[in-house]
Amino acid sequence: MANYNLKAYLGRLDTAGISYEKGVGEYKGDCYVTAGQNTPHLHLDKGGNFVGLKTKRGAITTLVINGAFKIETIQAEIDELKTSTVQNEQNVTTALLELARQHKE
């Protein structure tokens, strides 16, 4: 199983057609999948040490910490979002699937 790699993950998102935005201010260099103001969204730490999912409930769920995947948590979030018909949630689900695929390599 691979460790998380931000650059490789961003490449996967590009290939999957999932857009992301660069953060500003104190979050400059970080990336957000589906934009930071939307929920759910993913927050990708510029150092490659952390990936968090901000849920519709407002909580932040840790998916990667110190480069290590929390695959059970990733799978649980995929299961929760996969039947949604909301475009933002579909994009986050696809991004989570790409994160899970990176874990398997």
Q: What is the pLDDT of residue 37?
A: 62
Q: What is the pLDDT of residue 24?
A: 85
Q: Is the pLDDT of residue 36 over 70?
A: no
Average pLDDT of the residues in 68-75: 95
Cβ 92 vs Cβ 63: under 8 Å = no
Q: Is the pLDDT of residue 93 over 80?
A: yes
What's the pLDDT tens digit per position in 73-86?
A: 999 999 999 999 98
Structural domain boundaries in the chain: 6-104
Note the pTM of the prediction, 2 decimals: 0.89
Q: What is the pLDDT of residue 77?
A: 93
